Amino acid sequence: MRVTWTADGDTWRMAFRLDAEDDVTGRCADGQPLRLATNSFRIELPRAPREIHPDLLALAAWTVAAPWTRRRIVFDRPISDGLAGAIGDGWGVEAGPTGTGARSGGRLAISYSGGADSVAVAAMLPDAPFVHFQRVSHPRVPNRWTHYRSDVLAELAAATGRELTVVRSDLEFTLAEPRPGYPEHHAVAAGALLMADELDLGGLAFGYELGSRWLGGDRYLLRYTPDNPMWAPHGAWGRAFAAAGVHLVLPVGGVSEAVTMRLALNSELRGQVRWCLRGVGGPCGTCGKCLYKELIQAAVERRPLRTTITAGRPVARRWQEPPPYGGQEMIEYGCARVPGVEDTVFGAAARYLGATESSTAWLERCYPPAIEEIPEPWRGRVRDFMTGEIGLMSEDEARRVETWGVA
């Protein structure tokens, strides 16, 4: 793999060329098979940064190129020994050339999507600046996803009134299948990496919560994942970001989506929360994500489910079948708490799971090891918030995390 960055004012373009052993099919760090659509993309920054350390350019490139790279990657500027070592150890890929010193930075920014999880992070860190990734169209790839209203999400981010850097990029269109999206989950940070020297970033906070970090959430199912390759600080990606002087920080990594939902709904940013990419004046209310989040919100607000989605609809089909489910801990939580859930699209799931309020009480507190892995400069703030506002899991409750998918 060979990577070339070129700058034109505020816009950076990356092109990459596959070597003979590389392939247009690859896998994301979570195991998802991916197919490449095109080998270039751009990132539009809000202003031309004073400088960009070569490790930042290289790591931003790696968040897109990693799935397609087999044996080696050659960057167009020398990188640090630390980053080359992290890519070698993490992926078995030879990275170079080397020959520059390591970088470091001081501030913590939030990779802000506007969803409930990132709003919860924003509520915890009220003075942290936001960096928001906005999808824009690619000049050579037709956009069949015009219902994804990234412009609405960017407007909502601006409406928060927080210090905000919006980076616009078409990098998601480098992915042909399963659909346009981040080749690696970390590609959402590509623009933040390019701005990291300008903003003096030493860390980037993400809204990944207990399920994503520790329970093998999302595309994983039911598996305790202390060594999560994407989000553990000692995992491949955690080490690569640390080597580039931008530590991965998961302020809500120890709490469930019930807690992040409650924090978001109680936040002064409540009016700007939006987890759905489809709605303009509000969430669409008809997609699978809206249905899942509605279950959590109804559980948190202790009210009946509000949805027009019926059991026969494709987005509700998985809940008519037996578990395991993605995000199963939150399905259990919702089914145990939503009044009248047995007569909703989640009725079958509720019967299969048999969850109760007491069997899901652990999802209302913080898993202590998640605090210990926050980098030192920010750990005290997170610990104070979790002990003061949320409460820590008991040993028995922590065991629920550590036996998830095992018991």
Using CB under 5 A as the criterion, which residues of the chain lie in contact with Zn ion when the complex forms?
276, 278, 283-284, 287, 290
Q: How far is the CB of 153 from Zn ion (least distance, A)?
A: 12
Distance CA 238, CA 228 (A): 10
Please tell me the total number of residues recorded for the chain in this structure: 407
Query: Nearer Cβ to Zn ion, position 277 or 398?
Result: 277
Q: Which lies closer to Zn ion via its Cβ, residue 284 or residue 361? A: 284
Closer Cβ to Zn ion, 1 or 276, answer by number: 276
The minimum distance between CB 289 and Zn ion, in angstroms, equals: 5
In the complex, minimum distance from the CB of residue 60 to Zn ion, in angstroms, rounded to a whole number: 29
Residue 184 · residue 66 · CB < 8 Å: yes
Separation of alpha carbons 208 and 200, rounded Å: 23
The full DSSP string for 95-151 is: EEEEEE------EEEEE--SSHHHHHHHHHSTTPPEEEEEE--BTTB----TT--HH
Torsion-angle region of residue 216: left (phi > 0), alpha (psi -120 to 50) or beta?
left
Min. distance of Cβ 159 from Zn ion in angstroms? 19
Nearer to Zn ion, 105 or 180 (CB): 180
Instruction: Name which of 2 and 278 has its Cβ closer to Zn ion.
Output: 278
Cβ 115 to Zn ion, closest distance in Å?
11
Shortest distance in whole angstroms from residue 296 CB to Zn ion: 14
> Do 94 and 71 contact (CB within 8 A), yes or no?
yes
CB closer to Zn ion out of 246 and 287: 287
> What's the closest the beta carbon of residue 180 comes to Zn ion, in angstroms?
17
Q: How far is the CB of 292 from Zn ion (least distance, A)?
A: 10
Task: Compare residues 2 and 149 and give the one whose CB is closer to Zn ion.
Answer: 149
Contact 124, 252 (CB under 8 A): yes
Nearest to 124 by CA among 291, 266, 256: 266
Assign 87 to helix, strand or coil. helix
Q: Which is nearer to Zn ion, 315 or 392 (CB)?
A: 315
Count other C-beta atoms under 10 Å from residue 351's C-beta: 12
Burial class (CB in 10 A: 0-12, 13-18, 19+), 11: middle
Residues 65, 18: Cα–Cα separation, whole Å: 9
Beta bridge partner(s), residue 248: 204
